[in-house]
Amino acid sequence: MRMETYIRKSLGMKAHWMTEFIQTEQGWVARVDRLGNRRLRCGQCGTEVRMNRGRRPERKRRNLSIRDKMFWIVYRPFPLFCPRWELRVERVPWVRQWERITQALAQAVALLAKKFSFKEVAEYFRLDWRRVEALVKRVVEEGSKRRKVKALHTLG
C-alpha cells in the first residue's frame, strides 16, 4: 500500500486526495486537494453544498508523527455558500473546526493522558502542556455528552 493511500484511509478522506507527499528538514508534508468535482460539506451543519467561492489561504495542520519526523497536512479549504448558514468554510474530516492538530493526534494525546502526566504527554508529542490539558478537557466533555444516563427510580 502506498503512503498516500494509507494516510487518506486513516484520516477518513473521501472527497480529498494527496497531491504531494514531500520530506523537508522539519519533517513530512502532505498537500491535499479536492477530489474531482465531489460535493463538499458545510463546516457548520454538514449538508452537501454545490456552490463554492474560490479558495482560502493554505492551512497547515499537525498530524501524528511518522517515526521521529513531524507530519503536517497542508490544505486550502473552499468557502461554501450553504443555504442555511450562508458563507461558511467546508468541513474537512481530519480536523475539527478551529483546531490546529488533526483528530488522530488529539485522540492519541487523550489516550496517553490517561496513563501519564500532562507534562510527559506534552514532551512525547512535542506540544505545550496547556494544549494537552485543553484537548483532554474537550475529549472528556464530548464523552460525557455521548454517555447515556439511566433514569433514576425512586425506592420506597
| DSSP string computed for 62-75 | EEEEETTEEEEEEE
Q: 156 pLDDT band (50/70/90 cuts)?
A: low
Say whether pLDDT at 66 is over 80.
no
Question: What amino acid is encoded at 41 in this protein?
Answer: R
Give the closest residue to 90 by CA, choosing from 36, 35, 53. Answer: 53
Say whether pLDDT at 1 is over 60.
no
Question: What amino acid is encoded at 110 in this protein?
Answer: A
CB neighbour class for 32 (10 Å; exposed up to 12, middle 13-18, buried from 19): buried
pTM over 0.85: no
Give the closest residue to 125 by CA, choosing from 75, 93, 11, 133. Answer: 133
